[in-house]
Chain A
Amino acid sequence: MRLRSLALAAAMFAMPTLAVAAERDAASQADLSCMAVFLSTIGVMDSEREDYATTVAGLASGAMYYLGRLEARAPETVWLDELTAFFETLDQTAFKSDFERCGAEMAATGARMTAWGEIMQRKAKAAGEKP
């Protein structure tokens, strides 16, 4: 995915507003912010980093998580168009605080999934050890 220049894009679109962001409910605005945060972070990642592929995969799955939340809540909305509009009206200050909020949310979700997976593995192992 050619998203490496998203951060530049965000900065450029923040100046001349070409589209007006649609009215969104608070939950959708928060989720859209998170989707934008994750995609933008992919855009500024150093591709020479040793953990580049793994980190990008994690960020991309984070973006997919929030896209899923958005499209399930409002399936009639074209959320990728909303994403474009979001970048065009980007609030750089809010974007920084969103980064922390979204990262914490995804970390919590990831921790719950990890705990669930560990329980599953233990149960599967225990079942496999039965005669």
Chain B
Amino acid sequence: MRTLLRRFRTQGVVLVLTFAAVSGALASPVLAREDVAPSAADAADLQCLGVFMYLAGQEQDVEARNWFNGGVKHHLGRLQGRTPDVDWLSRLTDYFVGPFRSEFEANKDRCGNGQIAQDDALQAWGDAFQARVEAAAAAAPKP
């Protein structure tokens, strides 16, 4: 994952070249779905959803793409869990048309670091759980 973060952090240099294509492709037919501004928490998660969705779409390496897709699902889950009555994919389309490009550099490290912290926590949980299982197995009566 550390390697992925390093790659993640260098992605921006290359990916900026295609921002214009993405936002230009969407600019004409997209209308705002909801006029209500998202909460600060939802806005932060929408930014990360955009970052990970974009990077997953650009990435050729399978492992890296899978990691980005994990970030997509995580942040989509956060948005749907906190505010379930919003069509977040439509909001994402609007976000790509709007400030996504100008915010990308500012958001990618925050989002990437947050996802790595989440991965680390899950890893630590898995290791601790595994240790408990092995301890329980060792303590179980032998036939």
Q: Which chain A residues have a beta carbon within 8 Å of chain B's beta carbons?
A: 1-3, 5-6, 8-9, 12-13, 31, 39, 53-54, 57, 60-73, 80, 83-84, 87, 109, 112-113, 116-117, 120, 123-128
Interface string of B103-127 (1 = CB under 8 A from A): 0000000000000001001110111
User: Is B130 in contact with A2, judged by CB distance below 8 angstroms?
Assistant: yes
- Residues of chain B contacted by A80 (CB below 8 angstroms): 121-122, 125
CB distance from B130 to the nearest CB of A (A): 5
Among candidates A13, A69, A87, residue contacting B78 with C-beta atoms closer than 8 Å: A69
Interface SS of B by simple majority? helix
- Residues of chain B contacted by A2 (CB below 8 angstroms): 126-127, 130
Among candidates A9, A39, A67, A68, residue contacting B133 with C-beta atoms closer than 8 Å: A9
Q: How many A-B residue pairs have CB under 8 A?
A: 122
User: Is A120 in contact with B130, judged by CB distance below 8 angstroms?
Assistant: no
Among candidates B22, B74, B123, B129, residue contacting A65 with C-beta atoms closer than 8 Å: B74
User: Is B125 in contact with A123, judged by CB distance below 8 angstroms?
Assistant: no
- Residues of chain A contacted by B140 (CB below 8 angstroms): 12
CB distance from A30 to the nearest CB of B (A): 11
User: Is A72 in contact with B45, judged by CB distance below 8 angstroms?
Assistant: yes
Say whether, besides A124-B21, A126-B25, A66 and B77 are in contact (CB < 8 Å): yes
7 pairs from A and B in contact (CB 8 Å cutoff): A54-B62, A63-B122, A65-B73, A67-B74, A71-B78, A125-B25, A126-B25
Nearest to A42 among chain B residues (CB) is B126
User: Is B75 in contact with A68, judged by CB distance below 8 angstroms?
Assistant: yes
User: Is A69 in contact with B25, judged by CB distance below 8 angstroms?
Assistant: no
- Separation of A34 and B27 alpha carbons in the complex (Å): 37
User: Is B80 in contact with A69, judged by CB distance below 8 angstroms?
Assistant: yes
- Residues of chain B contacted by A124 (CB below 8 angstroms): 21-22, 25-26
